[in-house]
Structure 1
Amino acid sequence: MDNLPNVVTTTDTGIGVGYTGIRVRGSDATRVNVTINGIPYNDSESQGTFWVDLPDFASSVENIQLQRGVGTSTNGAGAFGASLSVATEGVPTNAVAEVNASYGSFNTSKLNIKYNSGIVKDHFSYAARASKINSDGYIDRASSKLNSYYLEGNYFNDKTAIKLLTFSGKEITYQSWYGVDAETVENNPTFNPAGAIYDANGNIVDFYKNQVDDYLQTHYQLHINHELTDVLKGAIAFHYTKGKGFYEQYKQDEDLSDYGFSPFTENGNVIENTDLVRRKWLDNDFYGATFSLNYNNNNQKIIFGGAVNQYIGDHFGKVIWTPYEQIPLNGKFYDNTGTKNDGNIFVKASQTFNDKWLLFADLQYRMVTYNVAGINDTRAALDIQDKLNFFNPKTGLTYLFNKNNSFYVSYARANKEPKRADYIDGDNPKPEQLNDFELGWKNHNAKRVLNATIYYMRYKDQLVLTGALNDVGTPIAKNIGQSYRLGLELDASFKIGEQFVWKPNMAISRNKNRNAYESRDGELVSLGETDLSYSPNFVASNILVYQATKDLEFTLLSKYVSDQYMSNTQNSLSKLKGYAITNLNFQYKIQPKKILKEVVFTAQLNNIFDSKFVSNGYFYSYDDTWSNLNQTTTIYGSGYYPQAGFHFLTGVKLRF
C-alpha cells in the first residue's frame, strides 16, 4: 500500500506492526471507505479502519483495489480520500496447504498455517487459516501480541454461488500513541511515556506493565449470488460484526469525584485523591444486509443496489484497582451508548457508443441517523441526536482514442457525516461536502503502462484534522469553510528487457484552506490561505524488480514524502520534515521433488540506509491566562512518532 500513488502510511510502533494508518491525497483513514467483499469495514462511530484488529488478514486476501477520490457508489460511509475494496481469496482448482514463518528485528515473529480444499465434488470448497504475530516494537514497550483466524465455506453450481465465512482477530498491544517531544526525538527516540509512574518529585520510577489495548473483533458474512437470466444477476449479503475490548491505564493522584466516589476518612485523614487503575471499554455490534441487481447487455450495463446497517456501541469505564478498600471496584464511572442507522440505495448505468465513447452515471441516496445518550468519561451528560440525508450524484465520460490511448473526465459529489469524536470533542459539527473533478489519460502497450490524473477536490465545511489528539489518541477535527485539493498524479510500469520491471509514481498537489483564522494571544487573527494539515505537496515512490533467474527475484522500493504541516495554520512548530526511505526485498524459490510443492525464502531489508525520520505526529495549543492575569498567551507544542532505522524480516513458506 505504501508505494501506491499519493499514499502515505504511518505506524505508532515504528515498524508497521500494531496500530497503523494511511492517508490518500492528504485525507486520513476515516475518509478511505473500506469494504471487505462489499461489506463495510470502517467503524461506524470513529469511521476509522483498525487493521490491528485483523492481524495477517492479507494472507486471506485475493485482491485489493484502491480508487483515489470519491469513486463510484459502494456500501459504507462516503469516500473523501479513496475507496479500498478488499476481496477474500478465491477457490483454487486443487487443494493447497501452506506454512509461513518469519522472524526479524525487535523480536518480531509471524507464523501462519493455511489450507484450501480446492473444488470438492464439483460444488464445494472450504478454506482455513490461523495466524500469530508477536513483536516488541521499535518504541519502548510497544509490544504486540496478535492472533487471528479465517474460515470459509463455498457452494456453487451453474447459476448460484453461496459463500459463508467468518474471520476474527485478537490484539493486545502496549499503548504507544503518546509520542515524544522534539528534544526526545533527537536524544531518546524510542522513549515511550505510556504507563509512567512518578515519584513525589516528578521523576519516573517505573512503568505500569499492563498499560495495554485489548480488543477482540469477529466478523460473519453470508453471500448469495444467483444468475437470474443471461443478462441479469442478483446478489444479497448479510453480515454481523462483534467487537469488545478495553484499554487499561494506571493513573496517579486522581480526584475521587471524577469517578463518582465520595471522599472518606482513613486513620484520621480525609482521602480525596488516589492512585488507581481504570479500564475504558467498548462493546459493540454491527449488522445489516446489502443487495444488488446487475444487468449487463453488451454495450449497456445497469446496477441497482443498496444496503441497510445498524451499529450499537456501549462505551463505559471501570476502576479495577485502588490501594483503598473503601472504594468499590468494577462499577461503571461512565456509561453511554451510541446508535447509528445507515441506509443507502443507488443506481449505476453505463453505455458504450460506437466502440469509442463510454458514458456512465451514478446516483446514490443515503440516510444516516446517529444518537448518543448517557454519561461520558468527564461525567458530563451526553445527548446527541442527528439525522442526515445525502444525495451523491456522479457522472463521467471515457473516450477510446485508439487501442493504446484513452481519456476520461468525471465529476462526483460526496457528503459525509461527522464522527463520534467530532460531536463529543467539537462544537456542533456540520456534515461536509466534496465536489471531485478528475481528468485522466491512460496509455498502454505490451511493454509499458502510463497513467496521468489531474484532480480538483473542492470542499465545503471540510472536517480537517487540527493536529490535536483527545485522551485516547484520536485526532480531533473541526469544520473549516472553503478548501480544496488540486493535484497531478503520474504512475507507470515499464518492462525493460526480460529481467527488469520499473514502476515509478509521483504526485504533486496544492492543498489549501482558503481563508484560515486562528485565536492567538486572545485575538482572532486572519491567516489568509494556508496549507491543509497532513497534506504533503509532493509524494513519490519507485519500485524496481530484477528477475535474476526464474526462481530468484530482487525488489528495490523507495519512497519520498515532502514537508507537511500538522496544523492548518502553518505554525513552524507544526512542520513535519520530509523524509526518504529505501527497502530491499529478496525472494528465492525451490521446487522439491517430494512432499513439498514449493519452498520460498524471503527477506525484507527495511530502511537500508538507516534514515532517521518521523512519519507522523500531533500539534496542540492552549491559552495561558494564569501566569499574567492581564494577558492571554497562546502556548504551542508538538509530539512525534519516530520510525525505526534499518530493520529486517526473514521468512520461509512451505507449500504442500
Structure 2
Amino acid sequence: MKTVLTTGLALLGLSGAAWAQGPVSGTITDARTGAPLPGATILLDGAASGATDTAGGFSLTAVPAGTHELRLTFVGYETLVQTLQGQAGAQRLNAGLQPGGVLTGDALVTAQRASDRTATAYTNLGKQDLAKRNFGQDLPYLLDQTPSVVVNSDAGAGVGYTDIRIRGISNTGINMTINGIPLNDAESHGSFLVNLPDLASSISSLQIQRGVGTSQNGGAAFGASLNISTLDNRREAYGETSNSYGSFNTWKNTVQFGTGLLGQHFTVDGRLSRISTDGYMNRASSDLKSYYLAAGYQAKNTLVKFITFSGREKTYQAWNGVPEPAISGDQKLLQQFIDNGELSPADAERVRQEGRRYSYYTYDNQTDNYQQNHYQLHLSQGLGSDWNLGAALHLTRGFGYYESFRTGRKLANYNLPDVVLGDTTIKRTDLVDRKWLDNYFYGGTFALNYQPKGNDKLQATLGGAWNRFLNDHYGEVIWARYASTGNIRHRYYFNDAAKTDYNAYARATWQVLPQLGVYGDVQVRHINYNLDGLEDGQVDVGTHVSYTFFNPKAGATFALAEGQQLYASFAVGQREPVRSDFTDRLAGDQRAQAERLNDFEGGYRLTQPNSSLLGPNTALRLEANYFYMNYRNQLVSIGQLNDVGTPLRTNVARSYRRGLELTGFLSANDKISLSSTLTLSQNRILDYREATTDSTFVLRTSTISYSPSVISAHTLEGQPLKGLRAALLYKTVSRQYLDNSASYNSRIKPYQVLDFRLRYTIRPVFIKEIELGLLVNNVLNRRYAANGYTYGYPGADGQQQTFNWYYPQATRNFLLSIGAKL
C-alpha cells in the first residue's frame, strides 16, 4: 500500500557539518483520518529510540550528522522506512501510516479494539505513556489521568490491592484482556492486578473503551473494557533495568532483555520484577514478584509466539479499612463503636494511638498469598492478500490462600464437635484458618480479519472463544486453642465451581461515502455455571444456572471536515451475576438476576496534528462524548462487604448513568503540553426502595453508590531543559455515597490531589541511556479517603445507627527511580 508522508520542515537532502547533530520530532497519525497513533515504535538505524505519546508525538533528542534509517511501526499498519539526514538544526516529521500491509502478532488484539470507525469512546496509551508513569505503583494508578477513572488502594499508596472504577463501575464490570485472552476471574469477574505486579513494564499498548464498546472475549463490559497487548516485536537486541525507592520503604527492581531478531526468524524477550513496600497503613505490607518470557518465530506470512508470565503476591490484609472515628477523631463516635461491639476497648485504644493509619489486624501472618501462572500460544497467519487469522490457546493456573486469626469461633461452624472437659462444655475457640482457591482457566480464541488490499472502505472480523474455568474453594484449620477432633489442616468446608463460557461475534465497518461510515457488531454468548458444596459456616451454596445473551451494536461516523468527526452508537451488553451475588444474598432477597445495559454514545472529535488555528508545530485534539447507559436489573453495591472484602450487591430494577466526557490535548513545539479531562454525570436508581423508621418503605430516585458526579484530571508537562521533563498532575473527585440511600452521613468526601513528576534523560558515550525520575504524590498533603463501606442497624433507643469504614490514602510521599538502557 502507498504510505503517505508529509514533512513540516525539510527532512531530506539537508546537510550540515560532519560533527553536527540536532533533534528530530513529529507526529505519527492514521493516514486516512489523521487520528494520532500512540505507542508507535520509532527505530533509528535499527535501534528502538522511543515510542509516540498519547497524541502520537515523538522526539529524538540528537540525531548525529550523516545518513540514517528511520523506521516507524505500529500494530496493524504498514511500516514506514525512510532515509533521514542528520543536521545541526531541528527537524520535524509528520507521517501518516496506512492500515494493513504487514502481519503482526496482534491480530487478536486489533480485532477487539475500537477505532475512529467504531463510533465509541476510547483512549489509547502506548509503551512510552505507561513508562513515564511507572514508578512501581499498580496499573490502575498509571491510568488515573484518563477519562472517568477513579482509583484507590487498600494500603493507601498504590501498591498491593488496588481498584479502578470507570464511570462509577468497579473492576467487576470492566472487561480486561491480555493479548485477547480474558483476565477477569470467571466467578468474581474481578481482575486482581496484584497477582501480576509490574505488568505495565511488559505492555506494548493499551486501549480503554468506555461503555459497552466492541465485542470482547470474556465477561461483558458494563463500565469499560481494558485491552492490553504485550505482543511487541523488537528487531534489535536490548537490555534495560529500572529501579525505584520511596516512602514506606517501597522498592521496585525490574530487569528486561531481548535478543532482537535472530536469524531473521526468532525472538526472545524477558522480564523479572520485584516490588515490596511496608504500605502507608500500618501492617499493610506487600511482597510481589513476577516474570515475563516470550519466544517467537516469524516468517513472511506466519507468526507464532509463546508467552508465559506469572505473579506471586504476599500481602498483609488491609481490606477492613479503618473506622470513621480514626479519621475524624470523634471520641463520642468511637465510644459508639465500642458500645455496639464494632470495636473492642483494646481496638479503640489502638485507634487513638494509630489514627488514620490504624489497622484492624494484629496477627503477624494475617496475609493473602496467591500465585497466578499464565501460558499463551499465539498464531497469526496471513491468508492471501485480503485475509489474516489470529488464534490463541491459553491456560491460567491460580492457587493460594489467605490466613486469618479468629477469636471466639463456634466449633460447629468448623464442622467440629464441642469439647467436653468434665462438667465444662466448650463451644467456641480461638483459631487460625486458611481459605484456599485452586483453579484452572483454559480455552481458545480466534479472529478472522478481512480487509481487501488497496481498498480500505470495508473491514470485517469474525471471531469468538471457548473457555472453561474450574475452581476449588476450601478452608483448613491449621491451629486451634481447642482443636476438638480436628487434626492439623482440618478441612471444614469444600465447594467446587465449573463454568463454561463461549461466544461468537461478527463485526464490520463500511465507508459508505467519503464522509459517512457505518459500523455493525453482533455477539452471541452462552454461559453454564455450576457450584456445589458447602461454604464457610456449613452453608450449602449449590447453584446451577445458564444464560444465553444476544448483544447487538451499531454506529455511524460522519466527517465534517479534515480532522473533524461526529459519531453515534448504540450497544447492548448483558452479564451474568458473580459468585458472591449467589452465595452472599441478604435475607429476603431473590436470587440474583442477569443485568442488561442499553448504551447510547455520541460525540465530536477534532484532531489537528499541526493546528491551523494555533500555529505551526502545535498539535490539538478535542473530544466531547455524551453517554446514556440505561440498565435493567443492575447489580449495585449496598455498601457492605463479605468476610473477604468483596462488596455485597443487589439488583435494582431500573437505573441509569448519563453524562458528558470532555477531553482535550494541546502541545506546542514538543516543549509543553496540556491534557485535560472532565466528566459530568448523573447516576440514578429509579424507584429505590428505602426503609423508614416505622418499618415501612418509600420509593424515590436515589444516587448509585460509589458514583461521583464530577471527575476531572489535568496534566501539564514541559521540557524546561534538554532531556528534562516536568509534569504536574491534578485530580479531582466529587462526593461519593457508600450506599444507595444518598445519605449525607454515609459518604466519601470530595477530594483533590496534586502530584509532581520529573524525568531526566542523559545519553553518555558508554551506555545508550540513563534516566532519573522523581514522583511526589499528594504534594499538597491532603488527608483524604478514596473508598469505604457502611452498615447500620437500630440502636437501643430504636434510632438507626450507622458505622462507616474508610480506606485513607497516603499523605505526601515520594518515589525516586533510576533506569538504564544498554
Q: Same fold (TM over 0.5)?
A: yes
| 1:251 corresponds to | 406
Contact 2:451-2:459 at 8 Å conserved across structures? yes
* Shift, 1:264, TM fit: 2.2
Query: By how many angstroms is 1:497 displaced?
Result: 4.6
One-letter amino acid of the structure 2 residue matched with residue 235 of structure 1: G
Q: Structure 1 residues 201, 291: CA separation in 2 closer, same or farther (over 3 Å shift)?
A: closer
Shift of the 522–383 alpha-carbon distance from structure 1 to 2, 3 Å rule, reads: farther
Corresponding letter in the other structure for 1:305: G
**Residues 170 and 217 of structure 1 are in contact (CA less than 8 Å); yes or no, is this contact kept in structure 2?**
yes
**Unaligned ranges ≥5, structure 1:** none
Match of residue 619, structure 1, among 790, 793, 797: 790
CA distance in 2, matches of 1:362, 1:202: 56
Given candidates 625, 629, 632, the residue that maps to 1:453 is 625
User: Which of these residues, 710, 717, 732, is aligned with residue 538 of structure 1?
Assistant: 710
Of residues 597, 602, 614, the one that matches 1:439 is 602
Q: Confirm or deny: 8 A CA contact 2:624 2:660 kept in the other structure.
A: yes
Q: Does 1:304 align with 2:476?
A: no
Aligned to 1:486: 658
Q: Is the 8 A contact 1:527 1:569 kept in 2?
A: no
Letter of the 1:412 counterpart: A
Percent of aligned pairs sharing the same letter? 39
Identify the residue that residue 314 of structure 1 maps to in structure 2: 472
Contact 2:601–2:628 (CA under 8 A) maintained in structure 1: yes
Indicate the residue corresponding to 1:171 in structure 2: 313
2:248 to 106, 111, 118: 106
Aligned residue pairs: how many? 646
Moved over 6 A (4+): 196-206
Q: Following the alignment from structure 1 to structure 2, what is the Cα–Cα distance between the partners of residues 572 and 527? A: 18
**Other-structure match for 2:817:** 651
**Structure 2 matches for 1:195-274, cutoff 5 A?**
207-266=362-421, 269-274=424-429
Higher mean displacement: 524-533 or 265-274: 265-274
1:554 matches 2:554: no
Which string of whole-angstrom CA distances, capped at 9 and with x for unpartnered residues, describes residues 295-339 of structure 1? 112211111010000101100000000134644221210100111
For residues 412-436 of structure 1, what are the alpha-carbon distances to aligned partners after superposition, in whole Å with 9 as ceiling and x for unaligned?
0000000000011123000000000
- CA, structure 1 residues 125+361, in 2 after alignment: closer, same or farther (shift >3 Å)? same
Deviation string 1:204-244 (CA, Å, 9 cap, x unpaired) is 79921000000000000000010011001112100000000
C-alpha separation between the residues in 1 aligned to 2:172 and 2:696? 30
Normalised by the length of structure 2, the TM-score is: 0.76
Q: How far apart are residue 163 of structure 1 and its match? A: 0.9
Cα separation, 1, equivalents of 2:343 and 2:481: 15
Please identify which structure carries the higher strand content: 1
Cα distance in 1 for residues equivalent to 2:745 and 2:575: 31
1:136 Cα deviation after fit: 0.3
TM-score, normalization: structure 1?
0.96
1:409-424 equivalence runs, <5 A = 409-424=568-583
How big is each residue's C-alpha offset from its partner over 1:429-452, in whole Å with a ceiling of 9 and x where there is no partner? 000000000111000112200011
Partner Cα separation in structure 2 for residue 621 and residue 206 of structure 1: 22
CA distance 1:250–1:498, change in 2 (3 Å): closer
Matches within 5 A, 1:16-415: 16-187=158-329, 207-266=362-421, 269-297=424-452, 298=455, 299-324=457-482, 326=484, 327-415=486-574
Determine helix, strand or coil for the equivalent of 2:326: helix
| Residue pair 1:130, 1:149 contacting (<8 A) in 2 also | yes
How far apart are the structure 1 equivalents of 2:147 and 2:400?
35
Q: Unaligned stretches of 5+ in structure 2?
A: 1-142, 351-359, 611-618
Change (3 A) 1:635 1:371: farther
Determine if contact 1:197/1:207 at 8 Å carries over to the other structure.
no
Following the alignment from structure 1 to structure 2, what is the Cα–Cα distance between the partners of residues 391 and 206? 46
**Contact 2:761–2:770 (CA under 8 A) maintained in structure 1:** yes
Q: What SS does the aligned partner of 1:106 have?
A: helix
- Which AA in structure 1 matches 2:773? T
Q: Aligned to 1:94, what secondary structure does the other structure show?
A: coil
Partner of 1:591: 763
Asked if structure 2 preserves the Cα contact closer than 8 Å seen for 1:212 and 1:249, the reply is: yes
User: By how many angstroms is 1:268 displaced?
Assistant: 5.5
Residues 1:515 and 2:515 are matched in the alignment: no
SS at match of 1:78: coil
Helix, strand or coil at the partner of 1:483? strand
Equivalent pair of 2:394/2:443 in contact (CA under 8 Å): yes
Match of 2:673 among 490, 493, 501: 501
| Matched AA of 2:542 | D
Shift of 1:570: 0.8
User: Per-residue displacement from partner, 1:84-105 (whole Å, max 9, x unpaired)?
Assistant: 0000151222111011111000
CA RMSD in angstroms comes to: 2.0
Alignment check: 8 A CA contact 1:293 1:303 kept: yes
TM-superposed deviation, 1:22: 0.5
Indicate the SS of the match to 2:580: helix
Contact 1:258/1:379 (8 A) holds in 2: yes
The one-letter amino acid of 1:443's match is: L
1:254: Cα distance to partner? 1.2
Letter in 2 for 1:600: E
Q: Which amino acid aligns with 1:323?
A: R
Judge conservation of contact 1:91–1:116 (CA < 8 Å) in 2: no
Larger radius of gyration: 2
**Alpha-carbon contact 1:407-1:440 (below 8 Å) kept:** yes
How far, CA to CA, are the matches of 2:471 and 2:692 in structure 1?
38
**Aligned-partner SS, 1:140:** coil
Report SS of the residue matched to 2:451.
Answer: strand
SS of the residue corresponding to residue 282 of structure 2 reads coil
For 1:416 and 1:5, locate their aligned partners in 2 and report how far apart those are by CA, in whole Å.
24
Please state how far the C-alpha of 1:362 moved relative to its aligned partner: 0.3
- Local SS of the residue matching 1:573: coil
